[in-house]
Amino acid sequence: MKNIVILISGRGSNMEAIVNACQREGWPARIAAVISNKASASGLQFAASHGIATAVVDHKSFDSREAFDAELARVIDGYAPDVVVLAGFMRILTEGFVRHFEGKMLNIHPSLLPSFPGLHTHQRAIEAGCKLAGATVHFVTPELDHGPIVTQAAVPVLSGDTEDDLAARVLKQEHVIYPQAVRWLVEGHLSIEQGIVRHAQGASQVRWGE
């Protein structure tokens, strides 16, 4: 039985999707803990209501990013994680932290990477005249939003879309592909060869949404 630790900063809707999929589909894993850098994160209540351990490591209590990351890593390690999942965790992580969990930490980014790393991805896609937008699940590396890609979902950018319209359409697909990617990692279906993710059973790596 694998242990999954999920990091959130707010509601954690992707965390909810992963928790629900793990329980519904009977993964050979359990959500060992949900950890936030904010005590006010509403996702902690959802986790607790599902019998999942929760913890808070407040980044404001530390004098440096390195000190915060060291304590966060210590707390995560207390749950013996096999997989660490970033689900709306709004912190830029230090290289030491990323290296500590290298190969078992996933993130989801709301764009079709390598396009539009960073913030305001939906508005940037609209302003660039993109016909497709989407989300990307990737392994976390020290370079922000540039890790090996596990899977992606693409959705159309429609005429008249606002940033919120596009964000909602993309988020719906995030809730599909992120649980799938975590399950692949839990079940040992993923490997990284020369920076490219290989899928052991030839699973589809792209989802076309509406």
Active site residue: 100, 109, 122, 175, which one?
109
Report angle CA 170, 177, 180 to the nearest 5 degrees: 165
Distance CA 120, CA 33 (A): 29
Q: Is 50 marked active-site?
A: no
Nearest Cα neighbor of 118 from 97, 94, 98, 136 is: 136
In the chain, count H helices and then E strands. Answer: 6, 10
Residue 62 Cα distances to 65, 71, 96, 118, 178, angstroms = 7, 9, 16, 24, 31
Query: Cβ–Cβ contacts within 10 Å for residue 53, how many?
Result: 14
Q: Catalytic residue numbers? A: 109
